Chains A and B, each alone.
Chain A
């Protein structure tokens, strides 16, 4: 670690910010049960909603992007959690039945 794709995510985060975009970084900090991406996996989000990387293999990326846009505006990091138990609250969840905790932070 970081493998090539994680490296690309970090480089994109820097490059997008250098280009003047608002940028937020989401990092998997903990997983329970089966979940497709291990702790340390990154998703970087740009202020226009485009993103690179993965924190769940596609299950919750849409919701994480929304959270990331909010974090960019607020300028304050937050921890969010997705899992089978939160499925109704978030209207998204992990099909595999695992739970994932994600730290979302603005790049400042």
Chain B
């Protein structure tokens, strides 16, 4: 590897810019590819797949030189909107699963440090908070407040971002009215299909911790089996 290539990888990691190192295992030649880069359509697909599943991809030896595609992705992050009861177990298990968790809630009585030891709290209004956190393809956004004043601004930012997962807590009825409001705000049907609502896999969860498990399970499914 050229020293410059290593520098460039480290710089991209620092800037949270996804990059793939393509190594020709026969010749040792290497190049760095960003999303959309590549000499051919299959190569662009390999780059996309490596980044998407966050795993290495090796081409078949039969079809020309063997190439090894290794992704360097930014860290996984989860933005939890609403410092409500469920946010407590969700922030804990998401942290265990490797996410950098930020809880967003402008209501100081909810977003109290003692309720969320060791978790980053952001007390800005959700749209401003999510804008400043810079959502990317390694981010999951989960809204928990049930309050359109807080959830909707967060969703508007999330829907305009590349976040890989967007989910909303709430009954089917509140979700239907949420989709109605977002449609009025100008979002298309395709946009709204990105939202998982009610969020979580249907495993019959009752307690906040069980609901948190179902949410993280759904986020994991979207991440690993998109």
Chain A residues near B (Cβ < 8 Å): 1-3, 7, 10-11, 13-14, 17, 25, 27, 29-30, 38-40, 76-77, 79, 103, 105-108
Q: Is the CB of B70 within 8 A of A27?
A: yes
Closest to A27 in B: B70
Q: Which of B113-137 contact A (CB under 8 A)?
A: none
Q: Is the CB of A1 within 8 A of B71?
A: yes
Residue tally, chain B, CB below 8 Å to A: 21
Q: Is the CB of B23 within 8 A of A10?
A: no
Query: Cα distance A87–B66 when bound, in Å?
Result: 25
- Decide if B185 is an interface residue (CB 8 Å cutoff): no
What 11 additional pairs, Cβ within 8 angstroms, besides A11-B10, A103-B23, A108-B1?
A: A1-B54, A1-B55, A1-B71, A14-B3, A14-B10, A25-B1, A29-B23, A30-B58, A38-B55, A39-B56, A77-B28
Using an 8 Å CB-CB cutoff, how does the interface string of B86-125 with A read, 1 for contact, 0 for none?
Answer: 0000000000001000000000000000000000000000
Query: Cα distance A77–B2 when bound, in Å?
Result: 12
Q: Is the CB of B1 within 8 A of A107?
A: yes
Q: When the two chains form the complex, which single residue of A2, A13, A106 contacts B13, counting CB atoms closer than 8 Å? A: A2
User: Least Cβ distance of A19 to chain B in Å?
Assistant: 12
Residues in B whose Cβ lies below 8 Å from that of A3: 98
- Decide if B7 is an interface residue (CB 8 Å cutoff): yes
